[in-house]
Amino acid sequence: MAVDKNGYISVLAIKPIQKEYQALLVFVQSRLLTLYESHICSIFVYGSVATGAAKPPRSDLDLCVILDKDIDDIDKLNMVNIAQQAIELYPIVPKVDFDIASKSEVLLRENITSWGYWLKHHCRYIYGEDLSLQFSLFKPSRAVAYAVNGDYLTVLSDYLLSIEQTNDLKTFLKLSKEASKKLIRSTNILRAQEGGDWPDSLDEHLSRLIKIEPKLVKELMFFMKHIELGIYKKDEFLIQMKNTISFLSAVEKNINEKL
């Protein structure tokens, strides 16, 4: 599990960006600088491209963009447009995702366990001010787990609605696999207040969960299989997802009552 010898959550190993993704990153950075110039505070990459484990053409490109101004709808639209341009020019990725925020939002005290943890432990700095240096290393805690995945009910409800509304197989597979990963990672909230291990991969999430709620692991294997093979039909997936969300919520409530 991703904890170092001193009990801190591990940070990303320093590795060169895979050559297949270098031109894509240069393009995205160039477009951002053209649009925002000095308003760009920081650019980070996270996910499989950041860890050097990306697999063309299956892996997405995930970035955090921090601006020195408040974020508005135009900024969000700009990110959508850049993503579309990038995919058209570099079909090595199926999707480009941006997490966008202002520097002031990132540095708010109440966002230390969310933005602070995320930049420190999941992101790789590629341009501008390295805001991850503003934060100390984090140790495993329930507070951090909730900051990252405590929104699972809202996020998964949105996924369910989008899946119900689509009749396109490609869109269904994309959304259902994303929802499956969110569900599995959200199980990290089922933990003690402090200490313990800190799962990184999906397999690690399931491994730690066997000790806590083995019946839930059995339900989650459905989603692991779907992530790998995409074999389940929409109706079957929706039923299983709704049932498993209810299961996870009940286990969470039970743990909360005992703490």
The Cα–Cα gap between 224 and 61 comes to 21
DSSP code of residue 7: S
Does pLDDT of 214 surpass 60? yes
Q: Which two tokens stand for residue 1?
A: 């599990």
- At residue 187's C-alpha, the angle toward residues 186 and 188, to 5°, is 85
pLDDT score, position 90: 97
The Cα–Cα gap between 199 and 215 comes to 19
Closest of 78, 79, 96, 97 to residue 87, by C-alpha? 96
pTM over 0.85: yes
- For the chain, the straight-line distance linking the first and the last C-alpha, in angstroms and rounded, comes to 24
Model confidence at 168, pLDDT cuts 50, 70, 90, reads: very high
Helical axes 169-186 vs 142-149, angle rounded to 10°: 160
pLDDT score, position 192: 80
Indicate the residue type of 187.
T
The Cα–Cα gap between 98 and 46 comes to 10
The Cα–Cα gap between 118 and 50 comes to 13
Q: Residue range 141-153: average pLDDT?
A: 96
Percent of the chain residues topping a pLDDT of 70: 99
Instruction: Read off φ and ψ for residue 8, nearest 5 degrees.
Output: -90, 150
Does pLDDT of 1 surpass 60? no
Q: Tell the residue number behind the tokens 């992530």, with chain if given.
A: 227
pLDDT tens track for 30-53: 999 999 988 999 999 999 999 999
Q: Give how far Cα 222 sits from Cα of 117, 151, 183, Å.
A: 30, 22, 11
Mean of per-residue pLDDT scores for the chain: 95
Q: Tell the residue number behind the tokens 């950041």, with chain if given.
A: 50
The Cα–Cα gap between 92 and 116 comes to 30
Domains detected in the chain = 19-134 (3.30.460.10), 142-257 (1.20.120)
For the chain, what's the residue count?
259
Q: What is the DSSP string of 170-217?
A: HHHHHHHHHHHHHHHHHGGGSS-SB-S----SHHHHHHHHHTT-HHHH
Model confidence at 194, pLDDT cuts 50, 70, 90, reads: confident
What's the farthest any 2 CA atoms get from each other in the chain? 53
Closest of 102, 42, 37 to residue 68, by C-alpha? 102
Q: Which two tokens stand for residue 92?
A: 């090595």
Model confidence at 256, pLDDT cuts 50, 70, 90, reads: confident
pLDDT tens track for 11-35: 998 889 999 999 999 999 999 999 9
The Cα–Cα gap between 195 and 37 comes to 42
- At residue 92's C-alpha, the angle toward residues 17 and 19, to 5°, is 25
Consecutive H or E run containing 96: strand 96-102
